[in-house]
Homo-oligomer: A and B are copies of this chain.
Amino acid sequence: MTGKVYGLGLGPGDPELVTVKVVRLLNTVPVVAYPESQKGGSFAREIAKSYIPSTAIEVPLDTPMAIDAAVAQAKYDEHAEIIAAHLDAGRDVALLCEGDPFLFGSFMYIYDRLADRYEVEVVPGVSSITACAAAAGLPLCGREDILTVLPGTLPEEVLERELTQTSSAVIMKVGRHLPKIRRVIDKLGCTGGATYVERALNPGQRVVPLARLTEEVAPYFSVILVFRDTD
């Protein structure tokens, strides 16, 4: 009897934005694994901590931040084997994921390595996309709107092409790409419809019109919402 893996989407950070299903599973699944930075912090564990019983076997997975692809792949291999050892011993494993497991998270790398060999259930979570919209009080899309989700890491010409054609865009992973992103938005004349959101629905939340943002660098987990008047 091998164990089962649960990929648990924890939402954007507020422990109250965790689903009832996640609370139930954390109360019953014996092993709780989560990514941990090299400094020892885990945002995922921070979100879930009040729901993890003291009897849980906790498995921090050390995750390097700046990574070359080969190093990262070897690390995910290692994480998958750590989890597999628990599954082979018959223990279910809950793997904690910030936001939603299948939306720009590292969970998919573990999923790729385990889904063929073990039962995996993905429990979707509130994504940072809708969390940012809620924080800013800005509806994302309705009727025949197109919503485009873009990593801010994309080349300038790709961002420009995508923003030209969509009615609503969410630009993720802004970080050090802020000047490039701002240049594209300015060029397209849609700065007036752009809002910068930092730490959505978390302590220290900031919602600022892009036109009034003075910084040149943003935290990695910041987002820019862009609305174009396409009527």
| A residues in contact (CB < 8 Å) with B | 9, 11-12, 14-21, 23-24, 100-105, 107-108, 111-112, 115, 120, 122-127, 129-131, 133-134, 137-151, 153-154, 158, 161-162, 165-166, 201
Please tell me if the beta carbons of B104 and A142 are within 8 angstroms of each other in the complex: yes
Please tell me if the beta carbons of A108 and B142 are within 8 angstroms of each other in the complex: yes
Shortest CB–CB separation between residue A29 and chain B, in angstroms? Answer: 14
Shortest CB–CB separation between residue A131 and chain B, in angstroms? Answer: 5
Q: Which of A102, A123, A133 has the most CB of B within 10 A?
A: A102
A94 to B19, CA, bound (A): 18
12 contacts between A and B (CB under 8 A): A16-B20, A20-B20, A103-B141, A104-B141, A107-B139, A124-B134, A125-B126, A127-B127, A127-B130, A146-B158, A148-B148, A148-B149
Please tell me if the beta carbons of A140 and B18 are within 8 angstroms of each other in the complex: no
**Which residues of chain B are near A140, meaning CB under 8 Å?**
102-103
Interface of A is mostly: mixed
A11 to B144, CA, bound (A): 21
Shortest CB–CB separation between residue A33 and chain B, in angstroms? Answer: 18
A165 to B19, CA, bound (A): 34
A123 to B127, CA, bound (A): 12
Knowing A20-B19, A130-B127 touch, does A151 contact B162 (C-beta < 8 A)? no
Shortest CB–CB separation between residue A146 and chain B, in angstroms? Answer: 6
Given A124-B134, A144-B151: 20 more A-B contacts, CB < 8 Å: A9-B134, A11-B19, A12-B124, A14-B21, A16-B24, A17-B21, A18-B20, A20-B20, A100-B133, A103-B141, A104-B142, A108-B139, A112-B139, A120-B137, A127-B130, A144-B153, A146-B149, A146-B154, A146-B158, A148-B149
A112 to B166, CA, bound (A): 22
Closest 4 CB pairs of A and B: A16-B21, A108-B139, A122-B134, A147-B149
**Which residues of chain B are near A24, meaning CB under 8 Å?**
16
A18 to B22, CA, bound (A): 10
Shortest CB–CB separation between residue A24 and chain B, in angstroms? Answer: 7
A156 to B140, CA, bound (A): 23
